[in-house]
Amino acid sequence: MSVNETAKNSLGTWSIGRILPRLMFFLFFLDLLLRFVPLDPLTFRAWEAMLRRYPNAVGPFTPNKHYHRDNSYGGVAGIGNLTVLRRYHAVDFTTDAYGFHNPPALAQSNPIGIVIGDSFAVGSELPEDQSLSAQLTQRFGGYFYNAGASQPLPLSSLKAVTQRIGLRHGLVIFEFLEARALQDPPASAPDGGRGAAQGFIFRTLGTDWIDRFRTPLNQLHTSPLQALSAKLEKEIQNDTLLPNSYASFVIREKLRNGEPIVFLPAEFKSPAHPQKAAERWVAYLSWYSKELHKDDLDLIVLLVPNRPTVYAPFLAVPREVSASRATLHELATALESAGVSTVSLESRYPQDAATLLSQNKYLYFLDDTHWNGNGTAIAADEIFHHGK
Amino acid sequence: MLFNSLLFLFLFLPVAYIGFWRLRTKKHRYTWLTLASYIFYGTWNYKFCALMAFSTAVSYFAGLGMLGTTDPRRRKLFLIVPVTVDLLLLGFFKYFNFTVSSFAQLSAWLHVPLHAPALNIILPVGISFYTFHTISYMVDAYRGVITPTRNFWEFSCYVSLFSQLVAGPIVRFRQVEADLDNLDHANRTRWLDIGWSFFAIGMMKKVLLADTMAAVINPAWKDAAHLSTLGAWLCVLGYTYQIYFDFSGYSDMAVGLGYLFGIRLPQNFNSPYKALNVSDFWRRWHMSLSACLRDYLYIPLGGSRGSAPSLVYRNLLITMLLGGLWHGANWTFVFWGAYHGILLCLYKLVGRFWDRLPVFLQRVATFFLVVLGWVFFRADSLSVARAMLARMFRYSPGTLFPGLAGLLAALAIAALIAHATPNTFELRHEWKPWTVAGFAVGYTLALIAIASGQQSPFLYFQF
């Protein structure tokens, strides 16, 4: 053994025992510092750049901010690190003072309706005039406010928003993606799904206190150094230098017209007991509808199928999605029976998908989970006809 | 918690280190290290901390019992009872399902249907290692090699020390007793350079070399039956270096961490791929396990001195079979152990002729035999091992797998280091500034790889 263990009571400036711990401290503080720098340059789409990660009283995004990127692409292609499947497009994303996706150019006073839901309602990858709320505004001739977030707003938050935007009476469009049936509905309580401890804090301190800490907390959440490292790792994993391990996170398929389409495995999941899932959600949505009715607001639930539910039959090797269809059907029937106004895209979407496919057009992005402008246009038409 | 995780590097290690050196007395340092080690272990599954604490307490009191009596029968009782308890725990957690499923397979083969209960048992990480720690302590105490400690925290610190808790090296009490006894006089700066040098080398071995090779060969192994001949050989060679750099990297990091806390841990790898024969290989590979198997199994069985040749072969085979099984509850490990047992017997038989071969040839042939053994060690089942061997030895054309460029580069560097450079214990760890700068670059690259979230656990965690 040659390790020199002789006593050493002081270290030289260039000793490894000095340099490496200092290097680690340097990287630690650099990481901390960089967390206060905007994330925009590291992102390829608006969602990550705009999203605030901590609970708040109003919108989910940084208020009064504009994001633009010429070469945005779908999140699923990003997750799978599949550069050849990216479909580049320009994206703009503008938020209002409350932190919702509402470009000032399209905003009007005296809204006649509000759209709530998840990223589908937000319309994060769409041209801003093609989001569901924008399409509804065009059809109804009155302004629909976009209150889309990571998930549909709890009732208390929705009420706060309708008060702020001055929606006295009108329509509330609840965009309900099929995948939501896999989750439990939020607790039917004013705190809308917050845990007991969190609810207590919000009741005691109010909901505005978090605003003061929100920006620094949000900044601390994401590490640009880690994001950069992951980017570097993805560059190296190009199947030449190293195999692309990210590809296993997605499912690659081909449509019958030969176009590649990429899915997340989660998109194929359906509830094990569709009837029970439907019962839980119908109970929640009935309560939600009744509570809104007290404020002179009418709820319309928009049932949106997952991408595979629409496109599985049109794959080069078709896949079985009868469980997904059953879930949507169960939900639509149960909601109608409960007297909740419902628009289901369950049957319209597959028909239109088949027609558009022959023209090499689609209802959803092929490299992303979300619907495109064609998808929102059909949804808006259906709601318009239903609303009339 | 992994050594190659940001949580360990940026939170656990600095807190454990600063806290340790702020404390002055031996007792406080033992307690601190024990506490830190239980937190380290608990981040994986806190429920199993109780199991380790129980095993520690049983062995500690057994040691005290031996201290308090000279009666041979009572001393034997203080050995047998706790060793049995330890082995039963290990047997239950590690081998219960394997035993049951093996019986079920046997009964199915005999056309006697057997409905075996399969329990949902989680294998506690590191149980094989700390069980070896406690058993070696009690056996050494029984043999009078060590005097059992009266200080519970010292013993607890020895069993649970986070640096070697989950994947070794298997440290015997006598190897660290002096450093533990002098823990209050430890000098923080004395081994700081050596500690960081070991740690950084280990980290780079693991993250930059072993993980790179793993990224390429792991997907290929899943499709072993469809590999081309060249692909199969590259896959097996890749694993040969991956397991060495992964495990020796971990051991280097463990030794480095030991130095940082004033405790010298034993060498675990001595350039095993430079071995001249299989016997030499086992003196260089996982040295702490080999020494334990030798001292606590092979020699008590009769060893090789004064025994008839057939008994020596029997002893070798039993030792290697159990050594294989120690690595995991799978027939592939038993087969691997048997393979090495047979190689050792053959070497006993023809060693005189083997040793006359040119040194280069001895090295190449030994390396080749070891590489073949890794096929069984890596394969998930004997059928996968068979498929891989078939691909290696029966020509099959086909395309190679993605990531070949990275694998070839990593293989070239790995081979150079493994076969032609001194190992970590042969270095003096006194570096010139430009070498330190090189370390800093390599270490930063390793941190980038870790931060990307693609780090993988150490292979020996599963054992």
Residue B337 lies in a domain: no
- CA-based Rg of chain B, rounded to a whole angstrom? 23
Same domain membership, residue B417 and residue B386: yes
Query: What residues 177-236 of chain B have any CB closer than 8 A to a CB of chain A?
Result: 187, 189-197, 199-200, 212, 215-216, 219
Q: How far is B158 from B154, CA to CA, in rounded Å?
A: 6
Can you give the pLDDT at residue A192? 46
Residue B447 lies in a domain: yes
Is it the case that residue A180 has pLDDT exceeding 60? Answer: yes
* Of B452, B425, B456, B7, the residue nearest B194 (C-alpha): B425
- What are B114-139's pLDDT values in tens digits? 776 777 777 788 888 899 999 999 99
For residues B229 and B394, is the Cβ–Cβ distance under 8 A?
Answer: yes
Q: Kindly give the interhelix angle for B127-143 and B48-67, rounded to the nearest 10 degrees.
A: 0
3-state SS assignment for residue A318: coil
- With the C-alpha atoms ordered B436, B437, B438, B439, is the resulting torsion angle positive or negative? positive
Same domain membership, residue A231 and residue A91: yes
CA distance B193 to chain A (A): 4
Residue B58 lies in a domain: yes
Same domain membership, residue A258 and residue A355: yes
Q: How far is B205 from B254, CA to CA, in rounded Å?
A: 13
Same domain membership, residue A228 and residue A122: yes
CA B99 to chain centre: 23
List the domain range (segments joined by +) for residue A81: 40-387
Q: For chain A, say whether B439 makes contact (Cβ under 8 Å).
A: yes
For residues B398 and B231, is the Cβ–Cβ distance under 8 A?
Answer: yes
Q: State chain A's mean pLDDT as an integer.
A: 86
- The residue with greater pLDDT, A140 or B329, is A140
Can you give the pLDDT at residue B401? 83
- The residue with greater pLDDT, A245 or A53, is A245
Same domain membership, residue A371 and residue A349: yes
Same domain membership, residue B153 and residue B203: no
CA distances from B125 to A256, B60, B197, B457, B459 (A): 49, 21, 27, 11, 12
Domain boundary among B151, B185, B219: B185
Residue B408 lies in a domain: yes
Q: For chain B, say whether A266 makes contact (Cβ under 8 Å).
A: no
CATH of the domain at A251: 3.40.50.1110
Q: For chain A, say whether B119 makes contact (Cβ under 8 Å).
A: no
Q: How many CB pairs under 8 A join A and B?
A: 125
* Inter-chain residue contact A245 with B187, CB threshold 8 Å: no
Residue B209 lies in a domain: yes
Same domain membership, residue B210 and residue B100: no
Same domain membership, residue A339 and residue A301: yes
In sequence order, what are the beta bridge partners of B76? none
**Which residue from B196, B401, B427 is facing A2, i.e. has the nearest CB?**
B427
Residue B282 lies in a domain: no
Same domain membership, residue B113 and residue B35: yes
Q: How far is B385 from B328, CA to CA, in rounded Å?
A: 16
- What are A70-119's pLDDT values in tens digits? 999 999 999 999 999 999 999 999 999 888 999 988 888 889 999 999 99
Q: How far is B186 from B262, CA to CA, in rounded Å?
A: 6
Same domain membership, residue A210 and residue A150: yes
Is it the case that residue A159 has pLDDT exceeding 60? Answer: yes
pTM of the model: 0.83
* A347 backbone dihedrals φ, ψ, rounded to 5°: -100, -30
- The residue with greater pLDDT, A50 or B377, is B377
ipTM of the complex as predicted: 0.83
Same domain membership, residue A236 and residue A201: yes
Same domain membership, residue B174 and residue B40: yes
**Is residue A205 very low, low, confident or very high in pLDDT (cuts 50, 70, 90)?**
low
List the domain range (segments joined by +) for residue B14: 6-185
Q: For chain B, say whether A230 makes contact (Cβ under 8 Å).
A: yes
Same domain membership, residue B232 and residue B111: no
Same domain membership, residue A45 and residue A14: no
**Is residue A193 very low, low, confident or very high in pLDDT (cuts 50, 70, 90)?**
very low
Element (H, E) at B230: helix B229-260
Chain A residue at shortest CA distance from B14: A21
Residue B338 lies in a domain: no
For strands A66-72 and A89-94, give the pairing.
antiparallel
Torsion angle of C-alpha atoms B79, B82, B83, B89, degrees rounded to 10: 180
**Which residue from B406, B431, B451 is facing A229, i.e. has the nearest CB?**
B451
Residue type, A91: V
Sorted by sequence, the CB contacts under 8 Å of residue A245 that are 6+ apart come out as: A237, B215, B219, B454
Can you give the pLDDT at residue A191? 45
CA distance B189 to chain A (A): 6
- The residue with greater pLDDT, B405 or A198, is B405
Is it the case that residue A64 has pLDDT exceeding 70? Answer: yes
Number of structural domains chain A divides into: 2
Same domain membership, residue A125 and residue A22: no
Best A27, A242, A248 member to test B by mutation, with max B CBs in 10 Å, is A242
DSSP B296: I
Same domain membership, residue B232 and residue B251: yes
Domain boundary among B185, B205, B221: B185
**Is residue A190 very low, low, confident or very high in pLDDT (cuts 50, 70, 90)?**
very low
Residues of B with a catalytic annotation lie at 327
Which residue numbers in chain B have pLDDT < 70? 116, 306, 454-463
For residues A351 and A339, is the Cβ–Cβ distance under 8 A?
Answer: no
CA distance A8 to chain B (A): 5
Number of structural domains chain B divides into: 2
Best B13, B21, B192 member to test A by mutation, with max A CBs in 10 Å, is B192
Same domain membership, residue B247 and residue B116: no
Query: How long is chain B?
Result: 463
For residues A342-378, b (16+ Cβ closer than 10 Å) or e, as one string?
bbbbbebbbebbeeebeeeebbbbbbbbbbbbbbbbb
- CA-based Rg of chain A, rounded to a whole angstrom? 24
Residue B330 lies in a domain: no
Same domain membership, residue B140 and residue B98: yes
Task: Please provide the DSSP assignment of A248-312 as one string.
Answer: GGSEEEEBTTS-EEEE-GGGG---SSHHHHHHHHHHHHHHHHHHHHHTTEEEEEEEE--HHHHHG
Same domain membership, residue A375 and residue A245: yes
Structure tokens at A80: 């799978």
Strand runs (DSSP E) across A163-248, as ranges?
170-177
Domain boundary among B185, B205, B235: B185
**Which residue from A28, A233, A239 is facing B454, i.e. has the nearest CB?**
A233
- With the C-alpha atoms ordered A144, A145, A151, A153, is the resulting torsion angle positive or negative? negative
Same domain membership, residue B224 and residue B82: no
Same domain membership, residue A340 and residue A195: yes
In sequence order, what are the beta bridge partners of A299? A172
Can you give the pLDDT at residue B370? 97
Strand runs (DSSP E) across chain A, as ranges?
66-72, 89-94, 113-116, 144-146, 170-177, 251-254, 260-263, 297-304, 342-344
Can you give the pLDDT at residue B456? 66
**Which residue from B430, B433, B452 is facing A4, i.e. has the nearest CB?**
B430
Cis peptide before A308 (omega within 30 of 0): no
pLDDT, mean of residues A27-45: 86
Sorted by sequence, the CB contacts under 8 Å of residue B281 that are 6+ apart come out as: B272, B275, B366, B370
Q: What is the largest CA-CA distance in chain B?
A: 70
Q: How far is B289 from A280, CA to CA, in rounded Å?
A: 57
Same domain membership, residue A148 and residue A14: no
CA distance A90 to chain B (A): 27
Same domain membership, residue B249 and residue B377: yes
Q: How far is B299 from B316, CA to CA, in rounded Å?
A: 10
Same domain membership, residue B107 and residue B18: yes
